[in-house]
Structure 1
């Protein structure tokens, strides 16, 4: 398994020109990179990465596995789903320009997942204060907001 740094460098060097020569292998490579990133998170947290699939995708099953017992990990659920969505679009897109656009977006989404996981490995609290986070929605957390008075 490549290190997160190696995956990051590969994504930075990845180009649409190279992808065009790879054809249908290009979206598979980006999806596989996202899976590798999830494997790093699971392994770092003492879990054996699953080979199960959810909705046809291993990355979604790994996300579910990673989020068990760690609600803050749900912050990247939509990133994983977007990666799968873009993969499906790239697999079915016949227009070359649309295909390149989907792959370009897919690369950025895979990078976003990598940055989230790398950040979370440095600070486990990343993802706790998103819009769906219970503490953000709770009245008793008003004291956490600078300049706000508790009611």
Structure 2
């Protein structure tokens, strides 16, 4: 199993590794929204259609934080997804790099939320819960 969002992660990773085209900008945004909608549903929340600063993604994030304040950590990731999308659409000379960076942020969001939903697959990195059984106590 590849975590909570296996198909989404596989599509993004294939694009980032050059095995397939990167999902388009609109598809990447939809993927990010799908991750937050999944979070809300699994938290027992009804998904609202609130828009914050002109974006449903930020509305979903705000609703998610109300359901669980721990989701606040991915606020900047959501904002960067939108920022990179805007750069890719407005500046053709920056489009390829911005598209790739947007894909990386969507991947990060899926991994972060996936780790909150199923922490059993987390390794040792900054978002992993502290595991006292792995510490060398002297």
Smaller-chain TM-score range?
Answer: 0.7 to 0.9
Structure 2 unaligned regions, length at least 5: 120-125, 127-138
CA displacement at 1:94 relative to structure 2: 2.1
CA distance in 1 between partners of 2:9 and 2:99 (Å): 16
Corresponding position of 1:75: 73
- 1:118 partnered with 2:114: yes
- Tell me how far 1:81 sits from its aligned partner: 0.6
C-alpha distance in structure 2 between counterparts of 1:18 and 1:71, whole Å:
35
Q: What residue is the counterpart of 2:57 in the other structure? A: 59
Q: Is the 8 A contact 2:12 2:103 kept in 1?
A: yes
Structure 1 CA distance for aligned equivalents of residues 61 and 112 of structure 2: 13
Q: Deviations over 1:91-143 (max 9, x none)?
A: 11122xx10000010000000000000000024xxxxxx9xxxxxxxxxxxxx
Normalised to the residue count of structure 1, the TM-score between the two structures is 0.70
Instruction: Tell me the TM-score normalised to structure 2 length.
Output: 0.76
Aligned equivalents of 1:34, 1:52: Cα separation in 2? 16
- Could you give the per-residue CA deviations for residues 22-75 of structure 1, whole angstroms, max 9, x where no partner exists? 8xxx21111111001111100100112222211111110000000004221100
In 1, Cα distance between equivalents of 2:5 and 2:68: 21
RMSD: 2.4
Q: How does 1:1-151 map to 2 (within 5 A)?
A: 4-14=5-15, 18-19=21-22, 26-95=24-93, 98-123=94-119
Distance in 2 (CA, whole Å) between partners of 1:106 and 1:37 is 15
Rg comparison, structure with higher value: 1
